[in-house]
Homo-oligomer: A and B are copies of this chain.
Amino acid sequence: MENWNKARNGIKLLMTPGPVEVSPRVLSALAQPVIYHYYPAFVEFFDETVKKMARVFKISHGTDVLILQGEGVLGLEAGVVCSINPGDKVLVFENGPFGKWFGEFVKNAGGFPVYFHEEPNKCFNLDLARAFLEENRDAVAMTMVHCETPAGLLNPPEDICKKAKSLGMLTIVDCVASLAGAEFKPEEWGIDIAVSASQKCISAPSALTPMTISKFAWEKIEEKKRPIRASYLSLLDWKDTWIAQKRFPFTPFTSEVNALSAALDEILEEGLENVLARHTEVARFCRQRVREIGLKVWPLSDEFCSPTVTAITLPESVNDAALIREVAKSSGILIGGGYKELKGRVLRIGHMGYQAQKSFMAATMDALADSLRSKNVTR
């Protein structure tokens, strides 16, 4: 048996909150012979992939789309450190670890994060959020996570970003776990920098960061006192090479671009609206089954729940690691546990992209129900 075979030994279906199960078609694309990045057909192919990505971002007014060669966090960091100056005040909306993480990037850039905190089982209250923005109108930017995966929350960027824009702020949103699973319209919603990732609802492997950059964002990036260049983190390097000359700042991940392109074909062939409706439906079914088997959905209200991932309150008597192991062993399905402060408090089931299939969810919830009855899982 090859070693890579052992690495997935026994697992037949990933229902984890990313990386997610990937379709056979995407895996086929990944497995194609490698291509040289400056072969003209590849350059054209990369360009087409960017254009397909723009359709998924619903771009129609000229916002730029980049596909960074790194995991989503690369784009999140780059979005902040390329645009924020030392001394800048940045409003950081947070109700979970990814929200908080933006604050670290702000600090790395020499900025000062001011947090708008919410409990990890609720989304931001719009009235309070707007008031907070008003009070802090001297801030130059704000950040927010659309889907906070650790808690299965879907925050409301639309109203908050529009308000922030009206106050002249740069708006940076993490749509890593929502794009192509929940409605997301960066241009319409006043989002300057939106950052996603390949391994969530897009359903390709982890490796790439699709992101959007508005004209306003480019201005901020170029006006930065010491613009970031000649760096893996540099957005300007991509502007100067890819956007200006259809060149790359370094060797792109050609195999992963193949996979991303195939994944986008699947989304666009199915129709983005159909894809979103499928996520909504499977999420609803998941919550229904959670309750039928006697468990509780973690967020306080279904209105807070993301259509892409469901967090379930871990029953007191249950050992999460043992339960996940039991589900995997008895069914071949892998689900996720809690992350950071919610470790040991929730279970998580991903329903992103290829995973968002009612039959997969039925199998998962049956396996979960079965395993909860096993003695192996008690604390």
Binding site for B on A (CB under 8 A): 1-9, 11-14, 16, 18-22, 24-25, 27-37, 39, 41-42, 44-45, 48-49, 69-74, 77-78, 101, 104-105, 108, 197, 199, 205-207, 230-233, 249-256, 258-259, 261-262, 265, 269, 330-334, 336, 357-360, 362-364, 366-367, 370
Contacts and interface: CB of A to CB of B under 8 A. Distances in A.
Contacts of A29: 2, 4
A256 B258 CA distance: 13
B367 A205 contact: no
Contact of A362 (B78, B108, B367): B367
A36 B19 contact: yes
A33 B9 contact: no
Of A49, A199, A332, A363, which is in contact with the most chain B CB atoms at under 10 Å from its CB?
Answer: A363
Contact of A39 (B2, B8, B30, B32): B8
Contact of A207 (B3, B256, B265): B256
Contacts of A39: 7-8, 11, 334
A4 B262 contact: yes
A14 B35 CA distance: 7
A45 B333 CA distance: 19
Nearest to A78: B232
Given A7-B41, A29-B4, A205-B253, A359 B13 contact: yes
A253 B198 CA distance: 10
A359 B12 contact: yes
A3 B33 contact: no
Contact of A357 (B8, B73, B331): B331
B32 A5 contact: yes
A7 to B, nearest CB: 4
7 contacts: A3-B49, A4-B32, A7-B41, A21-B34, A39-B334, A255-B256, A362-B362
A251 B364 CA distance: 23
A134 B185 CA distance: 60
A31 to B, nearest CB: 3
A49 B6 CA distance: 13
A175 to B, nearest CB: 16
A233 to B, nearest CB: 6
A33 B22 contact: yes
Enumerate the 6 nearest inter-chain pairs by beta-carbon distance, A residue then B residue, closest first.
A31-B31, A331-B359, A363-B363, A362-B366, A7-B45, A4-B258
A108 to B, nearest CB: 6
A19 B37 contact: yes
Nearest to A31: B31
Contacts of A199: 34, 251
B230 A232 contact: no
Contact of A366 (B12, B36, B366): B366
Nearest to A359: B331
Contacts of A357: 12, 331-332
Contacts of A31: 27-28, 30-31
